[in-house]
Amino acid sequence: MIASIPSAVLLGVDGRPVSVEVHVSNGLPGLTMVGLPDAAVRESRDRVRAALVSSGFLWPRRRITVNLAPSGMRKAGAGLDLPVAIGVLVASDILAPGAVSGLAFVGELGLDGSVRDVPGTLVLADALRHLRVVVAEAGLDEARLAGGDCVSAPTLAELVARCTGRRPWSDPTPSVPSIAVADGGRPPPDEGDLADVLGQPVARRALEAAAAGGHHLLLVGPPGAGKTLLATRLAGLLPDLDLPMARQVTRIHSAAGALPSGAGLVIRPPFRAPHHGVSAVALIGGGSAAMRPGEIGLAHGGALFLDELGEFPVAVLDALRQPLEEGIVRVSRSRGSISYPARFLLVAAMNPCPCGEAGVPGSCRCSPASRARYARRLSGPLLDRFDLAVRVERPAASALVARCPGEGTGPVAVRVRSARQRAAARGVAVNAHLPARVLDEAAPLDDGARVLLERHLVTGRLSARGLHRVRRLARTLADLDDDGDVLSDLHVAEALFLRGGRGLLLGEDVR
């Protein structure tokens, strides 16, 4: 007798429907699984058998063949436990085929018969939206974010009872969970308040511009200057995600198993801060057969903070360049290739040189050679991606700090939000995404600004690509100051200054 049970597996950030076919026939008792299962799937044989027996069902003393179709795709994860168990029950005539028609199953089984949640429930339920999807109770809220019809059961025995109609699907009202995006308001306290940062007017301005315009930010400064403190305050400045973005981010986090149970849609922009020991695969994604998204995928819609940028392996950093440019990661492996969105704000912090003190001439103890070697760790093209590169000085003497009291996250976030609204009126999420061809319209220059830029172009301090980046940044700075449509030399000069550049690392950009 044959049963075919619909389910799904994860590939990257997408669910792929899978048909679990179970055939029970005469022959040597045992269970064979075909159709490119990975280790976790193959182990489901033992879990399913124990779960059936402890739920009070008879394990058929016959030959069982499980085929996972389409058989050419490698399947990963424990979510196929439940469909395999149901398939065995149907194929051995314990459960009538009619009882499970129109149902799809996703879940892991415990040896005691309990149904457990699996990573990516939202994505998997989305792939099976044309069916009623049975998931673990813990994953029900998440599955319903996909918008389809979902039910759950705590154990295998209870599930069978509900399928056969002996017990009702006693789930709470399948109301659509709260997906209304709260309007900004106060960011969660765990994101830290900008008021904690004392002084640092230049770095603050750069941070604000990064949050408002989506410009990648590099903070360079000596140890203890407050680079990390500053960077972590960025999370609170970013406005809430809009609904399509929240859905996308939630899907990625679900697929990576990074969605806390019962959290609902992710509406706060993520802030990821991987350690500098991170491998290229962990950063970019594509590790297991499921091609799990990496840190940059998880940072989609939010910020990726790389502390001690100079300590990251060169190969890892260079892997960032393509996603930074396209906002999409393409991971190709022998078993297939996937792509997923990865549009994030890159914030990095590093010391200017090995001793950490380089800044104004004469303060660094490193040899020029070791400084050049340190600076060389960052390839020019990567450094080029940073629209903002500023020095963070140790906070000045308390008298100076007293004259520059730290503004809190609240008012800054308001300016950031209104700057982003201006960008939205230009058809982009943030100014950093403005296409070069619309710059003349979106960021027109007055005469002073044009003269200033020409001077920098003629003297070779600015490249053609740098010109576009400076104009976008100046646009953001003017937006933050609420300063009209035409860019003046003030904001262009500020953008040129905040752009910093390689000289910050080499300390020899004297002109």
Residues lying near other proteins in the complex (CB under 8 A): 199-202, 205, 359-362, 390-391, 393, 396, 400, 403-404, 452, 455, 477, 481, 489-494, 496-498, 500-501, 503-504, 506-511
Cβ contact 68:38 at 8 Å: no
> What's the min distance (Å) between Cβ of 399 and other proteins?
10
> What's the min distance (Å) between Cβ of 455 and other proteins?
7
As a whole number of angstroms, the distance between CA 469 and CA 252 comes to: 29
Q: Please say which residue, 124 or 492, places its beta carbon nearer to other proteins.
A: 492
Please confirm whether the linkage preceding 70 is cis (ω < 30° from 0).
yes
Q: Please say which residue, 266 or 493, places its beta carbon nearer to other proteins.
A: 493
> What's the min distance (Å) between Cβ of 307 and other proteins?
20
> What's the min distance (Å) between Cβ of 236 and other proteins?
22
> What's the min distance (Å) between Cβ of 487 and other proteins?
11
> What's the min distance (Å) between Cβ of 390 and other proteins?
7
Q: Please say which residue, 36 or 467, places its beta carbon nearer to other proteins.
A: 467
DSSP string covering 440-469, please? Answer: HHHS-B-HHHHHHHHHHHHTTSS-HHHHHH
Q: Please say which residue, 168 or 362, places its beta carbon nearer to other proteins.
A: 362
Q: Please say which residue, 417 or 502, places its beta carbon nearer to other proteins.
A: 502
* CA dist 194 → 151, 189, 273, 408, 435 (Å): 44, 11, 18, 5, 31
Q: Please say which residue, 27 or 201, places its beta carbon nearer to other proteins.
A: 201
As a whole number of angstroms, the distance between CA 417 and CA 401 comes to: 27
Q: Please say which residue, 66 or 230, places its beta carbon nearer to other proteins.
A: 230
Tokens 């300016």 correspond to 415
Q: Please say which residue, 71 or 370, places its beta carbon nearer to other proteins.
A: 370
Report CA Rg, the chain.
28
Q: Which residues, 6+ apart, have CB-to-CB distance to 156 below 8 Å?
A: 51, 52, 55, 82, 85, 109, 113, 114, 115
DSSP string covering 146-179, please? Answer: T-S-EEE-SBHHHHHHHHTTSS----S--PPP--
Tokens 């099976």 correspond to 128
Q: Please say which residue, 267 or 492, places its beta carbon nearer to other proteins.
A: 492
> What's the min distance (Å) between Cβ of 410 and other proteins?
21
Helix (H) or strand (E) holding 127: helix 121-127
Q: Is 291 exposed, middle or buried (0-12, 13-18, 19+ CB in 10 A)?
A: buried
Q: Please say which residue, 326 or 481, places its beta carbon nearer to other proteins.
A: 481
> What's the min distance (Å) between Cβ of 436 and other proteins?
23
Cβ contact 427:441 at 8 Å: no
Q: Please say which residue, 39 or 397, places its beta carbon nearer to other proteins.
A: 397
DSSP string covering 36-76, please? Answer: -B-HHHHTHHHHHHHHHHHTTPPPPSSEEEEEEESTTS-B-
> What's the min distance (Å) between Cβ of 488 and other proteins?
8
As a whole number of angstroms, the distance between CA 69 and CA 156 comes to: 23
> What's the min distance (Å) between Cβ of 441 and other proteins?
22
As a whole number of angstroms, the distance between CA 258 and CA 241 comes to: 17
The distance of Cα 33 from the centroid of its chain, to the nearest Å, equals: 34
* CA dist 180 → 187, 264, 501 (Å): 16, 10, 42
As a whole number of angstroms, the distance between CA 206 and CA 504 comes to: 15
Tokens 């290739």 correspond to 337
> What's the min distance (Å) between Cβ of 327 and other proteins?
29
